[in-house]
C-alpha cells in the first residue's frame, strides 16, 4: 500500500503493532456492504463506468460468500480487513478493483464499518432484551400473589410479591431498550464520503450511499465524521448500564438460591464442586454478575483513548473496536443466560412466605392503621409502633402474637381491628397505590406490558 514512497517494508514490531486484522475481520459483512454501496454510487454518478461498478459489486458479493463459507484466503501481511478485501477483489476482477477506493479513505470506511456494526449489535441486543422481558412477565404472572420479603439495606422491610419484584426488572429492561434506541437514532448518520478528513473533489452523492445503507442522512461535517467515536462511547455506556441491571438480578439469584433458600435452579443451571459432592452452585448468576465489571472497563478504556485526541483521525482509534466487540458479545451472552435462569428457577413459596412475615415486616402497616383509624400524626404513630415492636421483640414473639392489652399498654386507643393489618397477605394486598405491590396491581401491570410489547 505504501509502495510509492517507502522502499523497505515495516519493521517486524511495527507490522505487529500496526496490524488490526486479528480483530477487525469481525467487520467483514459491514465492510463489504459499505463498499458495495460506494461502488454503486460511483457508478450512478458516472465516476466509474457501469461495467466497473457492476464488476466490483459482483466481486464483493463473491468475497462475502467466501467469508461466510470459511473459504476466504486471509493474509495477515495485508494488515487489516479493508486491504484483504481489496487484494482479493483484485485477484477476482483485475485492475477495476483499484477503482473502488476512489473518493474515499480508510478513515471514513472504518468509521462507517463500526457504525454499521454497532447498529446491528443494537438490533440483536434489543431482541435479547425483549426476550428477557417476556421471560420475566411469564414468571411474574405465575407469581403475582406469591409473597416474599422486600428488602432495604439487605434486611427484611415490607412484604411484596415475587411478581412485583420481577416486574422491576421488566421496567429496567424497558429503559435499557429505550437507551439503545436513542443510541441507534443518533448514530444513524453515514460518515461515508468524508474521505480522509476534508471530503472529496469528486462529484459523489453522499445522500445516495446513506440511503443505500439505511442511514437517516450523511454526517454534515467531514472532520466530525472520521474523528468522532461518541456513538461507540454511548453504546458502551448503554451496555454497561444494562449489564449492571443484569448483575443486580444475578446477585439476587445468588442470594435467593443460597442463604435465603427462596429458589432452586435445575441441574441445567447449576454446577457442582470438584471436592464437595453436595454443592449446587449458581455459577451462571455469578458470571452474569461479574461481567458487568468487564463492560464498565470497556467503557472506561475507550473514554481514555478518545479523551485527548485532536481532530481528525488518529491511529489510536484502532483501539475502538475490541471494547465494542467484547461488550456487545458479553452483553448478549449475559442476556441469554439471564433469560434462561428466569425461565428455569423453581420458587420455594413456603420459604418466601415465611420470610415475608418475619422481622416485624408489617410494622409500617400498624403505623398506617394508627394514622388512618385513630388519626394520629404519622410521626407519633411511628413512635408508638416502634415501642410496640420493641415489646414484641423483648418477648421474642411476632407482632400478631401480642395481646390487645399489651398493645393498649402503649396506645390505649388501639382496638382489635388493628390485628387485621398485621398479616403479610393483608400488607401486600393493601399496597394498591399506582406502582404498588398489591397482586391486583401486579396483574394490571403485566397486562399493560403485554399490550405494550405486542
Catalytic residues: 153, 273
* Rounded CA separation 282/265 (Å): 8
Closest-CA residue to 431 (of 154, 165, 155, 158): 158
Cell of residue 346, nine digits:
423453581
User: In degrees rounded to 5, what are phi and psi of residue 436?
Assistant: -80, 175
Distance separating alpha carbons of residues 50 and 45, to the nearest angstrom:
10
Contact 143, 162 (CB under 8 A): yes
Bridge partners of 346, per DSSP, are 264
| Three-class DSSP category at 155 | strand
Measuring CA to CA, which residue among 163, 218, 224 is closest to residue 198? 224
One DSSP character per residue, 69-134 reads HT-----GGG-SHHHHHHHHHHHHHGGGGGGTTTT--HHHHHHHHHHHHHHHHHHHHHHHHHHHHH
- For 189, the 3-state DSSP assignment is strand
- Pairing relation of β-strands 263-264 and 346-347? antiparallel
Amino acid at each position: 500500500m505504501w509502495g510509492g514512497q517507502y522502499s523497505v517494508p515495516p519493521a517486524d514490531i511495527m507490522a505487529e503493532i500496526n496490524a488490526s486484522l486479528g480483530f477487525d475481520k469481525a467487520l467483514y459483512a459491514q465492510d463489504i456492504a459499505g463498499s458495495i454501496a460506494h461502488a454503486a454510487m460511483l457508478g450512478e454518478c458516472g465516476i466509474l463506468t457501469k461495467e466497473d461498478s457492476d464488476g466490483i459489486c459482483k466481486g464483493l458479493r463473491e468475497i462475502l460468500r467466501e467469508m461466510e463459507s470459511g473459504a476466504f484466503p486471509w493474509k495477515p501481511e495485508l494488515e487489516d480487513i479493508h486491504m484483504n478485501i481489496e487484494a482479493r477483489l483484485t485477484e477476482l476482477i483485475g485492475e477495476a478493483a483499484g477503482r473502488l477506493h476512489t473518493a474515499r479513505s480508510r478513515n471514513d470506511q472504518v468509521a462507517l464499518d463500526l457504525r454499521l456494526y454497532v447498529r446491528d449489535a443494537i438490533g440483536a441486543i434489543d431482541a435479547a432484551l425483549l426476550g428477557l422481558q417476556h421471560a420475566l412477565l411469564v414468571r411474574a404472572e405465575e407469581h403475582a400473589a406469591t409473597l416474599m420479603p422486600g428488602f432495604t439495606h439487605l434486611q427484611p422491610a415490607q412484604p411484596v410479591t415475587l411478581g412485583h419484584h420481577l416486574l422491576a426488572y421488566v421496567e429496567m429492561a424497558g429503559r435499557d431498550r429505550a437507551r439503545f434506541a436513542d443510541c441507534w437514532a443518533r448514530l444513524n448518520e453515514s460518515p461515508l464520503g468524508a474521505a480522509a478528513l476534508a471530503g472529496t473533489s469528486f462529484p459523489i452523492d453522499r445522500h445516495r450511499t446513506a440511503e443505500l445503507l439505511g442511514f437517516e442522512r450523511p454526517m454534515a461535517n467531514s472532520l466530525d465524521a472520521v474523528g468522532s467515536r461518541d456513538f461507540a462511547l454511548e453504546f458502551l455506556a448503554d451496555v454497561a448500564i444494562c449489564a449492571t441491571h443484569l448483575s443486580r438480578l444475578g446477585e439476587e439469584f445468588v442470594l435467593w438460591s443460597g442463604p435465603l433458600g427462596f429458589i432452586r435452579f435445575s441441574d441445567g443451571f447449576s454446577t457442582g464442586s470438584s471436592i464437595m459432592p453436595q454443592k449446587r452452585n449458581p455459577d451462571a448468576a455469578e458470571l452474569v454478575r461479574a461481567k458487568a465489571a468487564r463492560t464498565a472497563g470497556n467503557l472506561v478504556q475507550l473514554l481514555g483513548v478518545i479523551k485527548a485526541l485532536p481532530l481528525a483521525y488518529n491511529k489510536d482509534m484502532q483501539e475502538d473496536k475490541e471494547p465494542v466487540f467484547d461488550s456487545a458479545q458479553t452483553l448478549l451472552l449475559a442476556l441469554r443466560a439471564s433469560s434462561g435462569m428466569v425461565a428455569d428457577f423453581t420458587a420455594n413459596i413456603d420459604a418466601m412466605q415465611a420470610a415475608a412475615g418475619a422481622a416485624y415486616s408489617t410494622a409500617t402497616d400498624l403505623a398506617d392503621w394508627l394514622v388512618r383509624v385513630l388519626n394520629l400524626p404519622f410521626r407519633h404513630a411511628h413512635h408508638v409502633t416502634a415501642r410496640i415492636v420493641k415489646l414484641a421483640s423483648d418477648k421474642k414473639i411476632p407482632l400478631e402474637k401480642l395481646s390487645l392489652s399489651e398493645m393498649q399498654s402503649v396506645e390505649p386507643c388501639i382496638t382489635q381491628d388493628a390485628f387485621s393489618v398485621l398479616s403479610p397477605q393483608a400488607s401486600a394486598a393493601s399496597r394498591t397505590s399506582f406502582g404498588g405491590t398489591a397482586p391486583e396491581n401486579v396483574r394490571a401491570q403485566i397486562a399493560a406490558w403485554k399490550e405494550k410489547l405486542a
